[in-house]
Structure 1
């Protein structure tokens, strides 16, 4: 029996040894697999939030345009949409950053899931979950980069940190946020990994110029293969996001530093130059395969990306050649040239300061200082050291000279370069760029830098950003002190530095920085493991002391515990943050865009035309699409353009590419209807103006209109959509685009509080005169060519709030949008005074019509006022309100009044008209001021839709009784006297004091 027991024990020991051996070899595979599964699970948490009654929704704006691109690509696979006539009326638009590799990959996934013929719901669901899949895949290159800098344990730690980090990356890689951002992260990480592998391979194989000259392909095959793969990856990264060309700029900085280090260290830089040349050429060739535009463009694949790739290759080749030539030159010649270089650098710093670009001058200043110190020290030692010291100074001087030459030879390209440096890494976005939420700097102007930065970084990264900073310093020290210098580690430092600058310049770029933070944390913990003395589990002998285990556990807990869902003390963990995501404001627009799609004529069919534009039809690239008769545009703020395109299937004037943003701003801020209409009429040839849109007078606009050909004259903007955010929180951004400054729209007013007059801020007359305010708050009362055709049944309150502090009333908010319950709470709170209140639909849609002319003659002896009034009722909110229009007669009493509302509903969508939900309850009443004359008149819908139609004559007679109008009207605005939306919402009425109270 003892023998049998012994055999069993030996067998168990063999099996145990095999399991341990397998674990030592492959533990990283299940570890990373579990991390990826966790990431996918977290990112699919909010899936139900984005599906309502079988319909799929998305967060933000851009995801909706990706749905359009993916839907098109499925129907025309693998081709993406070259030109979209359903956006940016009246020209159409190139997709640029949309319709890229991201959309092709998602479309391919939809075709696979749908077995070659996916339904629209399948396409939408595939796009919905795509960010979660891409986000999960980012863990693979993160692990591999971490493994290269700190071993397998460091790689697993890096992937774990990535999985647990909340913030921008989590949000943009969660189901529902279906934008290309997460694909950018994946392809950038793959490119960084490829470059690291290529650099290490080049250091081992040492490809030099002589091998290239002798065409010794066998010796160059391995480093050339990895460099080519890295270049292809960089090209694919630009396929996903054309502005990814910024990575080529980062590579340029890296190779300039790395080749200089190699030369100063006494090593030939040929092998690094070889890598740079191959990466640059292959990236340029990859981009060239997909170019469809031959003018310089950052947001679309163009010769710019190709030129940057070839420029990187040429720069690396030049630096390698210069290093060889440098050794043959006389020291005195180099000394004189270096003195001239110092002068050139100093001059560049002065110019950068004068031009307001201090960031551009900073690297030159550092080169000047350190180059001078290094050169001075080298001069006191020996001639060889001195010659090496001058090399990086020469490279910097050549760069300065190159920038100067670019400024002289190609000022346009130089301007593109400077603008994109400013907005990407130099904290210098324009005011209009700052109106984009995701493009805000982490620390805004006037904010306390350290406090704001610390709060932001803590919310985004927990304590991992502190560990990453320590790891960065540690990695610098390792590079400086180690005998085994690795250029790939220098590349990680350069890459991380630029990712930090990008993340601080624009909040959204934190989705890039997260990978760098994760890798640096992996490096830190991996180095701690080495310092403490725990051997790698891949070794045969593992002898671990308790203190070693405790040390590692303590470090890991410091990094991971604040982020772990089970242990974290805050709600910023990944699962809580992901689960809280939802579609947002698009849900409030859903009713309005559905109505627009079903109740307005299809583009090309307005007014009875029969030129419908195919929604998924292919249109070739062009500068200005000739829209057929019956096509029309929809004016709104640029934020909502993609919703109008995709959910409404109509053509917005402005879109989230920020195209026509200035025109939209100028229209919404227009102080009179005449200017607003002239602007819309001039849009087809507005590019012929010699001044910016916001500087065009009515006379300028009229000249443009008069110069239009027949086709341009037929391109009309027919609808205007305004929501509660445009009237409140987004108004500042709207005003920023064309001015004047948003503050000019505010004023101080006397407010009665407890029988005392208090001066408080409110919206001024200039705001109330804007087209935005007159349409949204006044229901187009007094305007001649706009009729309200739909209002969303959901309602929102508006109010300015004052609170009492130290015995004095002070403003807490001005014109803030509040839900109805909040408004009621403030209304009845003794600590808060509410003024300037109103209740409106969340989205209102207006139609711009020619209007009908009502003509008549009053029995008066001098000019006097004549008013037309009609009562209207909204079917969606069940409210009634009045439209009024007042004109003055001539001396003989003749008058003409243009009105936009019909008193019947005789035309349908099939007739090329609008199925309006706002209808008149009776005829127009015409009254004459200072006279007892009155009359009524019917206005058919055909009359308001006819250009230059015959006037409708109204007969006036002496009034025999009082008006039977049942709706009272605010004399100033004609606003509703009661609001009865759906039964679930409390009804509010305006009191004599100008506040709102619950209706009895």
Structure 2
């Protein structure tokens, strides 16, 4: 009989459960365990899906048969540079003869954003992308950067607080309007890159600092992990320099944090060498990367020091940061060795920094001036800056205290962020803060100051608002017991026992959360799903100009010696539209070039003064729109008052108020003054240059050298005028008699009449200069068969040829009694 095999007990079976079965000399496959996906990964991916959907909303209105309509103004110049970069990769134009025409202008924007878009366009287009491919890829780049920024914020918060709080913060950044509007489809601007690169820089630096402390990094004991993160942080610093000319602000956050961390470590009596090594390595890597590129730039070769474009300022700035870390280490170690009070070192450092900055005014005046210019920029001072709406403080709207902007871009998220920041302060252990916690506090305070100074920085403040709004929501969920019901918190057994239990606090938090999130989502959809009201008309008008006016040469040349044939007079807000969509030189554009001449042109009270500016700027066309009008004349959000201000005149002289009788009293009315209606802008836009009567009812002559050739339809039409020599009509009439001239003009908005009047001289001679030929179609404007000239009961008909108008010829009219 064979022996019986004893059955294994339960413990043995459990021990053997994970072992492969041996059969003969081989091994049997055990059943494959099911793949489990971490719920946090699923949630994070879901957040990315929501973020993507919201950021793709502009597709609903920005796509057309002619191309993509980009958001706001600056994306149009980015597109101009991206197209150039695709054609000349990896070179970018540092000079543009189409800007500030006819003088040209050096381009100060750092290159990284445009090179990224150009590189991706070349990849997608397999080396030779068409304009449509370039536009589609460039429009998608901000979306990709926005999604990447959400992921980076997740890891920053995860390191500082935990992954549950990180998920909620990532969700808020995904839906916060202030984050969406700079990272939405077709917002092709470097602002999305600023946020992304800064977050990558902060994440790497904080991980470097934390691991450096843990591994006791020192100059004598260098460790791989903190050094790798420090090097990556240095690459991030260099990336910031190549992303935005305000990079010193973002890099300055690391310097400010480091100063506070040095002081905090001194307070706790801890060594700071690990932080010194981290900061020194990061800044050394950054200056090593940046220096050769800047040396290759015109400003670098000329040893120029300016914060407005890549120059020696950035080399000196990064080198100074490296020296800062060495000096701080030496100072704090010295104070520690002599057992000075902990505050001695930070106080001495502040005094030393103040002395160095004051000394720079004499030793390095260019460096000091660059720093001073940066401070003035942040404060929004300067003639042009004060006219820019986005440079106003956060709680200001057209000079009045207002919650409109913070509510539109943060909504209830701003209120949650305030609560979250307070909760963060309350729940920290102030005697043992982590590096990441100290950084979050310093970073947030600096960004808050930045956002309060200028509303343009709401997209920067959005990151910290999302962070602390997420923390507030996380704390509320934690108090309600939400996280205790997650499988990861309770284990499988507890999950089976208490699987779907819902408590009253959880219900309350869910209801409140929904109420708070609804306004945020509504605002996000509103901002992402609507375009600027003037965008469509300016795109349409510029494309018409591109197709129906003489082409200019060197459209994408970076050569300083190129000279296009003519330019277009415009207000600076719209110059980038003209540069990209019309591919014509612009007198003024969004770099605020040509502003003074443009301002003097549009407020000119006589045509001769305006003509002199047109000749000086070699401009052949003028483009205007409704928004350039005055709020006093009923133009909502009109910008006219900026023109006399920038021309050095009193803006108040261009508007007035008066009392109008009404039943049972009088009512105060606002309107433009005679100067406003007599300005070139008003005569062009309001009167189409045709003359007749102005907005106050006073008679006015038609312009002699400007003819309407195109206008868009809608509430804010864009009108295009051609500047011509004009034909001169000479004739004879009774001495001293009044003469009137008419020409029927038909435009898309109806029939009009060109009108002018003059008085015959003592010899009976009279003269009119007119901009329209007769029996012609000029652009989209049709003219009548002849000009009618009337004096008393007599009248004559005069025909004028196109060549007479274009060449400034004289047409002799018949005599009139």
TM-score scaled by structure 2?
Answer: 0.85
Which residue in 2 is equivalent to 1:909?
none
CA-CA distance at 1:534 after TM superposition? 5.5
CA-CA distance at 1:767 after TM superposition? 0.6
Which residue in 2 is equivalent to 1:942?
803
* Cα distance in 2 for residues equivalent to 1:451 and 1:75: 45
CA-CA distance at 1:155 after TM superposition? 2.2
- 1:119 pairs with 2:130: yes
CA-CA distance at 1:956 after TM superposition? 0.8
CA displacement 1:24-76 (0-9 Å, x = unmatched): xx443333222212211222233232213463222211222222222222222
1:464/1:559 contact within 8 Å kept = no
Which residue in 2 is equivalent to 1:648?
582
* Cα distance in 1 for residues equivalent to 2:465 and 2:651: 39
Which residue in 1 is equivalent to 2:697?
none
Single out whichever of 146-155 and 124-133 deviates more from structure 2.
124-133
CA-CA distance at 1:600 after TM superposition? 0.9
RMSD, aligned α-carbons: 3.8
* Cα distance in 2 for residues equivalent to 1:279 and 1:146: 22
Given candidates 141, 145, 148, the residue that maps to 2:156 is 145
* Cα distance in 1 for residues equivalent to 2:724 and 2:402: 55
1:57/1:583 contact within 8 Å kept = no
Given candidates 850, 853, 867, the residue that maps to 2:728 is 853
The DSSP-based 3-state class of the residue aligned with 2:583 is coil
CA-CA distance at 1:131 after TM superposition? 2.3
Matches within 5 A, 1:498-647: 498-521=446-469, 553=506, 557=510, 560-562=513-515, 564=517, 568=518, 572=522, 574=524, 576-577=525-526, 580-582=529-531, 584-603=533-552, 613-616=553-556, 618-620=557-559, 622=560, 625=561, 627=563, 631-647=565-581
Which residue in 1 is equivalent to 2:441?
493
1:248/1:308 contact within 8 Å kept = no
CA-CA distance at 1:795 after TM superposition? 4.4
Given candidates 340, 344, 347, the residue that maps to 1:390 is 344
CA displacement 1:960-996 (0-9 Å, x = unmatched): xxxxxxxxxxxxxxxxxxxxxxxxxxxxxxxxxxxxx
2:85/2:115 contact within 8 Å kept = yes
Given candidates 772, 792, 796, the residue that maps to 2:711 is 792
Which residue in 1 is equivalent to 2:291?
288
CA displacement 1:768-823 (0-9 Å, x = unmatched): 11110111122223355433232325144xxxxxxxxxxxxxxxxxxxx7xxxxxx
* Cα distance in 1 for residues equivalent to 2:485 and 2:293: 49
Which residue in 2 is equivalent to 1:666?
600
Which residue in 2 is equivalent to 1:230?
233
Which residue in 1 is equivalent to 2:3?
none
The DSSP-based 3-state class of the residue aligned with 1:936 is strand
**Across the two proteins, how many residue pairs are aligned to each other?**
770
2:393/2:455 contact within 8 Å kept = yes
2:177/2:527 contact within 8 Å kept = no
* Cα distance in 1 for residues equivalent to 2:744 and 2:269: 89
CA-CA distance at 1:262 after TM superposition? 2.7
Matches within 5 A, 1:308-347: 308-326=317-335
Matches within 5 A, 1:265-284: 265-284=268-287
CA displacement 1:312-332 (0-9 Å, x = unmatched): 111221222223444567xxx
* Cα distance in 2 for residues equivalent to 1:487 and 1:181: 27
* Cα distance in 2 for residues equivalent to 1:544 and 1:737: 71
Structure 1 residues 467 and 784, CA gap change in structure 2 (3 angstroms): closer
CA-CA distance at 1:457 after TM superposition? 7.3
CA-CA distance at 1:886 after TM superposition? 3.2
Which residue in 2 is equivalent to 1:442?
394
CA-CA distance at 1:632 after TM superposition? 0.9
Q: Which runs of 5+ in 2 are unaligned?
A: 1-6, 20-30, 630-634, 692-700
Matches within 5 A, 1:118-267: 118-163=129-174, 165-209=175-219, 211=220, 219-267=222-270
CA displacement 1:620-679 (0-9 Å, x = unmatched): 3x4xx5525xx1111111111111122212111111122222322221112222222223
Which residue in 2 is equivalent to 1:719?
621
TM-score scaled by structure 1?
Answer: 0.70
Which residue in 1 is equivalent to 2:754?
883
1:202/1:275 contact within 8 Å kept = yes
Which residue in 2 is equivalent to 1:695?
none
Q: Which runs of 5+ in 1 are unaligned?
A: 330-383, 604-612, 684-715, 797-816, 818-841, 907-914, 959-1000
Which residue in 2 is equivalent to 1:55?
67
- 1:421 pairs with 2:394: no
CA-CA distance at 1:495 after TM superposition? 1.0
CA displacement 1:120-155 (0-9 Å, x = unmatched): 222222223332222122221111101101122222
Structure 1 residues 81 and 10, CA gap change in structure 2 (3 angstroms): farther
Which residue in 2 is equivalent to 1:765?
674
